């Protein structure tokens, strides 16, 4: 047993957990990363149950390894964890029978022991805990990028939106003590990290379970004071985004003027059915305050199209909100029922062709807004955190602005992506497309 491969589906929390999984497999089992799952001795799928598409991809990827397991690589160990592992447990084996290990969101730290046991006994192991006793941040990590780190500040969720499986697979909301977060950030800064993303299903309610009230603004202040160059965070629930948090974002150096603020729908009737606890009016007022405090704010959102009972009028209200908010990006989804959620039993399903037609109209508006906002950046100089070379052209450097916009620029003569990755560059923008900017590096 020499190599491993980790395939990740879903949100940033899953990406964080996968970095911890890789860290444990290397530190505890002495494995090295394989180039592909087909040649690995251990393959781990860290899964997402939020969208139907992620489940379909999991089935395809795991099934593709069946041939390897019955042919060239019979001793490969296949482990499925994350949200689907937590939700389905032993039931997962009924549709993916060649899986060796099933684990959940609450026992990531047990994976090395489960793998060692499976290697020795060749028995199928299912271990899914009802709740966690510690945070995965306590585990070793192999970061995807040496200069960036995911830092969970909460896990779980107490909102129970009717369409969402997260509270059922991640548990109720739990906050990390502030001193633990500050200590982790300090260690990351000492390790050369220049950008962190604070994670939580609802970062704005951080601390409510520990201190009796949300203390997210204090987290932002402490993290920004650590010496880290850039601070990002996801995800913000509109109900809990306070004016104090907006003020801290607007006035504290290092906190990016970039915000993901899911709206999901612009119809009060649908928002009520979703159990979102805000109205279109309160959401629009919040966005107005955000732009007043940070005119350069890059704003993104989530929108669900075709929630059960959504009428054409409901959808037109959503389009109106999207037009008014002028988003830089929107993650748009066709509604898919998640077993175990209240919405899964709702009647008045929207026909698929109607959903698709609405979806297409929404995407057109989002693209128009994103293009217009990018066009305004032509002629400006943007501070870009270099990430590496473009996938299409090794002579083009790519990175991201404070507003999380992708920027391409020709590689400076004599430089390499390895030497520039993780450094900040000033890029003069001379071209803007819908999803990226182009320019040249100054100096």
What percentage of the chain exceeds 90 in pLDDT? 82
Name the residue among 343, 372, 238 with its Cα closest to residue 301. 238
Q: Which regions of 9-105 does DSSP assign to beta strands (E)?
A: 32-33, 42-47, 77-81, 101-103
Name the residue among 62, 67, 6 with its Cα closest to residue 34. 6
Residue 139's pLDDT is what? 86
Provide mean pLDDT across the span 42-49: 93
Pick the CATH number of 3-127 from 3.40.50.12160, 3.40.50.720, 3.40.47.10, 3.30.499.10: 3.40.50.12160
Give pLDDT tens digits for 270-283: 999 999 999 999 99
* 72 pLDDT higher than 80: no
N-term to C-term CA, the chain: 49
User: What is the arrangement of strands in the sheet containing 125-127, beginning at the earlier edge strand?
Assistant: 32-33, 3-8, 42-47, 77-81, 101-103, 125-127
CA angle, 99 as apex, 98 and 100 as ends, to 5°?
115
Pick the CATH number of 140-375 from 3.40.50.800, 3.40.50.300, 3.80.30.20, 3.40.50.920: 3.80.30.20
Give pLDDT tens digits for 203-226: 999 999 999 999 999 999 999 999
What percentage of the chain exceeds 70 in pLDDT? 99
Whole-angstrom distance, CA of residue 104 vs CA of residue 117 = 17
Residue 67's pLDDT is what? 72
User: Does the predicted TM-score (pTM) go above 0.75?
Assistant: yes
Residue 436's pLDDT is what? 97
Burial class (CB in 10 A: 0-12, 13-18, 19+), 432: buried
Contact 410, 397 (CB under 8 A): yes
Provide mean pLDDT across the span 113-118: 93
212: phi > 0 → left, psi -120 to 50 → alpha, else beta; which?
left
* 49 pLDDT higher than 90: no
Burial class (CB in 10 A: 0-12, 13-18, 19+), 26: middle
Provide mean pLDDT across the span 391-401: 93
Name the residue among 175, 171, 236 with its Cα closest to residue 206. 175
Average pLDDT of the chain, as a whole number: 94
* 33 pLDDT higher than 90: yes
Domain chopping of the chain, boundaries = 3-127, 140-375, 381-441
CATH number of 381-441: 2.40.50
């Amino acid at each position: 047993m020499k190599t491993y491969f980790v395939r990740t589906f879903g949100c940033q929390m899953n990406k964080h957990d996968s970095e911890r999984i890789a860290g444990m497999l290397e530190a505890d089992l002495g494995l090295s990363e394989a180039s592909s799952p087909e040649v690995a001795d251990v393959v781990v799928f860290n899964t997402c149950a939020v969208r139907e598409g992620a489940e379909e991809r999991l089935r395809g990827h795991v099934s593709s390894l069946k041939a390897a397991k019955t042919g060239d690589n019979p001793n490969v160990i296949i482990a499925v964890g994350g949200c689907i592992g937590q939700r389905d447990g032993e039931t997962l084996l009924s549709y993916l029978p060649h899986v060796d290990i099933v684990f959940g969101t609450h026992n990531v730290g047990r994976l090395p022991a489960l793998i060692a046991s499976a290697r020795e006994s060749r028995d199928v192991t299912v271990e899914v805990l009802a709740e966690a006793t510690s945070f995965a941040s306590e585990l070793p990590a192999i970061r995807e990028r040496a200069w960036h780190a995911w830092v969970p500040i909460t896990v779980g969720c107490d909102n129970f939106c009717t369409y969402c499986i997260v509270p059922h697979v991640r548990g109720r909301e739990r906050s990390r003590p502030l001193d633990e977060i500050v200590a982790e950030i300090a260690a990351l800064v000492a390790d050369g990290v220049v950008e962190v993303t604070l994670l939580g299903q609802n970062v704005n309610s951080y601390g409510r379970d520990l201190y009796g009230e949300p203390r997210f603004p204090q987290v932002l202040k402490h993290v920004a004071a650590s010496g880290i160059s850039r601070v990002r965070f996801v995800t913000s629930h509109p109900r809990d985004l306070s004016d104090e948090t907006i003020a801290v974002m607007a006035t504290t150096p290092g906190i990016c003027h970039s915000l993901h603020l899911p709206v999901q729908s612009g119809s009060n009737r649908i928002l009520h059915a979703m159990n979102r606890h805000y109205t279109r009016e309160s959401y629009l007022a919040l966005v107005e305050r955000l732009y007043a405090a940070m005119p350069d704010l890059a704003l993104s959102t989530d929108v669900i199209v075709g929630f059960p009972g959504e009428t054409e009028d409901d959808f037109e209200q959503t389009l109106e909100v999207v037009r008014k908010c002028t988003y830089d990006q929107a993650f748009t989804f066709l509604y898919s029922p998640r077993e175990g959620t209240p919405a899964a039993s709702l009647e008045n399903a929207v026909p698929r062709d109607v959903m698709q037609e609405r979806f297409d109209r929404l995407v057109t508006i989002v693209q128009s807004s994103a293009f217009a906002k990018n066009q305004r950046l032509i002629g400006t100089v943007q501070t870009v955190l270099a990430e590496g070379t473009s996938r299409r052209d090794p002579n083009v450097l790519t990175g991201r602005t404070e507003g999380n916009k992708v920027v391409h620029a020709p590689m400076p003569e004599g430089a390499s992506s390895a030497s520039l990755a993780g450094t900040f560059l000033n890029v003069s923008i001379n071209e803007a497309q819908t999803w990226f900017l182009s320019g040249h590096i100054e100096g």
